Amino acid sequence: MLDPTPGRVPLLRAAAVSKSFPGTKALDAVDFTLGAGEVHALLGENGAGKSTLVKCLTGAYRRDGGEIRLNGTSIDPRDTLHAQRLGIGTVYQEVNLLSNLTIAENLFLGHQPTWLGFVSTRRMNRDARALTAQYGLDIDVTRSLGSYSVAVQQIVAIARAVRLSGKVLILDEPTASLDAHEVDVLFEAIRGLKERGLGIVFISHFLDQVFRISDRITVLRNGRLVGAEDTASLDRLRLVNMMLGRQLEEETRQTGKTGMRYDAEPRLRFTGFGRRGRIAPFDLPIQRGEVVGVAGLLGSGRTETAEVLFGVYPHDSGTATKENRALSLGSTRAAVAAGFGFLPEDRKTDGIIGELSIRENIALALQARIGWARPLSIKRQRIMADDFIRRLDIRTSDAEKPVGQLSGGNQQKVMLARWLATNPEFLILDEPTRGIDVGAHAEIIRLIEELCEDGMSLLVISSELEELVVYSHRVIVVRDRAHVAELVGEDITTETIVNAIARTPVRTSEAAEATI
């Protein structure tokens, strides 16, 4: 591969770094090269391996294979503190500083200037003022960190990381909770560091910001390196393609499912449905036996659409009808009562109860629906569980095994079984194939197709575009928290989806700046 600065040793070079977790290969021989004075964006969807790579670089994880060289010397950071001493500092989205301490204390914690063993507060505060001034901050360093905005806290975190490490700075989603003006302040600080010769790794899912600040872009997908290119030579379309689509093989180009008839009254019709700050109002009719795919980049409003539909965050505008009758939604209870099911993206935190058995996990939603006053007998639960274990091919010794001991794909099937037990009419699946192995992947796709043949309506969110193309009758494209395009039947190809996602949006940051 091309070296960004030929003839010179790059500041940081990771070669063929690998990392596996039980059941998944999180990083598969990934190369990454960072030059001095370079802002290098690291992009990829959830589960692409960005954070695993960063954690290998900062010592939070020990890599399984490969080599990391800093200034030409091989390093093997044991933990984040060790990485920091070697010269690699990290700043996370949630500011990892102590809001109860003063700005100066946060900057110098563990390294306070002392005199005869006592902390010299005056000198510490003077140094802190000088340090924050370098970053363009004019603040009272003796006040507690918590009394300042997230942007200031973020810059203080950067100042601390740079002071302690000084060679490589990794910024993990630093702008996620900042407004447009604060982003400008942060970028100004980043440019200053770049001039001082630091290498900066910038992780963000805001493509506008990536194009504004970065010199070079590395894209990961499913734990593999897709490519590394200079930002100037990349356009939005090609970047989104790298992030979402495999290189298309012309011959086997596939399109979405056809044959869905849209002249009948839909089973469900959402009109002007939305919630401020989450997803702009949208219209969404869904037919019996239809699979509607939702495509978009991370943070674009995919999951938000599902959460508002299911009432996790109640809608504040719009109406819903079911077979022409008004439907009152607004809570998950109401959604379940209306025959909805929702398989969330992060099954570990949002759905699966690892300590309970497969049988108990499957019985949960049905039990909730019929009410706790009429408990399902153990016998009926067992019959039901055995039935789903057979139908969904859940690999387990028996139904009493705690779900936490199953592999990711089988956990996903248990979650699916939980909702299928309630016999839903409308099932929402958020990234159903995330983090599961290839075999289970194909089985889940087959299941989705079977369910829709049985007449169930499905809304499936996925960042795997090939997958969406395979099973969707219709694909909704979301961008910047709004539904921006709809593709039907033959029009659905990975290419059309990527085009719709990448179409340069109205510069939202400019619009935001104008209103401030």
Partner 1 sequence: MNARTLPLLATVLIFIIAYALCYLQFPAILSTRVVGNLLTDNAFLGIVAVGMTFVIISGGIDLSVGSVIAFSGVFIAVMLRDTGLGPWPVFALLLVITTLFGAAMGATIHFLQMPPFIVTLAGMFLARGMAYVLSIDSVPINDETISVLQRLYWLMPGKGRLTLIGGLMLVVVVVGIIVAQRTRFGTNVYALGGGAQTARLMGVPVARTTMQVYAVSGFLAGLSGIVFAIYTSAGYSLATVGVELDAIAAVVIGGTLLTGGSGFVAGTLIGVLIMGLIQTYIIFDGTLSSWWTKIAIGMLLLGFIVLQKALVWAGGRRTEAAAGKG
Among 136, 146, 375, 455, binds partner 1 (CB under 8 A): 146
- Give the Cα separation of 458 and 460 in Å (integer): 6
Token digits of residue 253: 């180009």
Among 8, 62, 78, 143, binds partner 1 (CB under 8 A): 143
Among 48, 151, 320, 498, binds partner 1 (CB under 8 A): 151
Nearer Cβ to partner 1 (80/255): 80
Count of residues interacting with partner 1 (CB under 8 A): 33
Q: For 457, left (φ over 0), alpha (ψ -120 to 50), or beta?
A: beta
Nearer Cβ to partner 1 (99/254): 99
Nearest Cα to 483, choosing from 208, 294, 244?
294
**Applying CB under 8 A, does 54 fall inside the site for partner 1?**
no
Q: Which residues of 17-41 are buried (b: 16+ CB within 10 A; e: fewer)?
A: bbbeeeebbbbbebebbbbbebbbb
Among 177, 255, 319, 508, binds partner 1 (CB under 8 A): 177
Residues 507 and 480 sit within 8 Å (Cβ to Cβ):
no
Closest approach of Cβ 515 to partner 1, in Å?
12
**Applying CB under 8 A, does 114 fall inside the site for partner 1?**
yes
Judged by CB under 8 A, the chain residues 471 through 500 that form the site for partner 1 are none
Among 15, 101, 368, 488, binds partner 1 (CB under 8 A): 101
Nearer Cβ to partner 1 (154/396): 154
Q: For 339, left (φ over 0), alpha (ψ -120 to 50), or beta?
A: left
In 10 A of CB 208, how many CB atoms?
Answer: 17
Nearer Cβ to partner 1 (43/161): 161
- Give the Cα separation of 406 and 402 in Å (integer): 8
Among 6, 22, 117, 371, binds partner 1 (CB under 8 A): 117
Nearest Cα to 31, choosing from 58, 3, 73?
3
Nearer Cβ to partner 1 (184/229): 184
Strand residues in 415-507 grouped as ranges (E): 426-430, 457-461, 474-479, 482-488
Cα separations in angstroms, 348 against 353, 359, 413, 429: 8, 17, 13, 15
Residues 325 and 483 sit within 8 Å (Cβ to Cβ):
no
**Applying CB under 8 A, does 121 fall inside the site for partner 1?**
yes
Among 80, 321, 367, 407, binds partner 1 (CB under 8 A): 80
Closest approach of Cβ 481 to partner 1, in Å?
17
**Applying CB under 8 A, does 367 fall inside the site for partner 1?**
no
Residues 83 and 57 sit within 8 Å (Cβ to Cβ):
yes
**Applying CB under 8 A, does 96 fall inside the site for partner 1?**
yes
**Applying CB under 8 A, does 337 fall inside the site for partner 1?**
no
Amino acid making up residue 342 = F
**Applying CB under 8 A, does 112 fall inside the site for partner 1?**
yes
**Applying CB under 8 A, does 188 fall inside the site for partner 1?**
no
Residues 6+ apart with CB under 8 A from 19: 25, 26, 27, 52, 56, 61, 63, 64
**Applying CB under 8 A, does 136 fall inside the site for partner 1?**
no
Token digits of residue 506: 């109205």
**Applying CB under 8 A, does 148 fall inside the site for partner 1?**
yes
Q: Give contact residues for partner 1 (rule: CB under 8 A).
A: 80-81, 84, 96-101, 105-106, 109-110, 112, 114, 117-119, 121, 143-144, 146-151, 160, 177-179, 181-182
